[in-house]
Structure 1
Amino acid sequence: MGGLLLTGATGCGGSIYAITSSSASSKLETAEALGAERYAPYEFWYAKLHLHKAMEEASTADYGDAIKFAGTAEEYAEKAIVLAKQAHEGSGR
């Protein structure tokens, strides 16, 4: 029973990681397209580095940490998007 539970948890972790990292990656692409590297460099790079670390953790099947890193990446990518949009609004674009 314990092995069965572990297999289910690992599969679920992989799925959750895949969804979270995909969302974070998509948001990072949006942030990049909005010029977040220029307008929100801290948030942009913090997100990018956390997504990279999430990928490293997932490659060793450490999905718990991978999910946390991907979640942080998604959160900071969102912040970068907001800041980049605000910068565009402030410049009259």
Structure 2
Amino acid sequence: MKDLDRLKAQRLADPETRTEYDALAPEFAIARELIAARVLAGLTQDQLAAKMHTTQSTIARLESGRALPSMRTLTRYAEATGSHPVIRLTADRIGLV
């Protein structure tokens, strides 16, 4: 794991790479929340897909952070995991007067 950490640190030392990486943070945060809800519900991707009447590959795509769920999909995902979505917008204090 130290090699991976070292590689990540080297890549993120480049300002352009860091900017792109930081821009993906919201998508990865959503993916982490989805995975956490599924794991907490004790479901596999296959089981969750069956409950949502979709495919395992769709669940994998949502949990990868590469595809943002629509509000409808997010609600269905939450219902299938026995949870509920909470959307909150917070002020970005950087640059505010």
More helix by share: 1
Question: Same fold judged by TM-score > 0.5?
Answer: no
TM-score if structure 1 supplies the norm length? 0.42
TM-score (norm 2): 0.41
Highest RCO, 1 vs 2 (Cα 8 Å, sep ≥ 6): 1
Structure (1 or 2) with the larger CA radius of gyration: 2
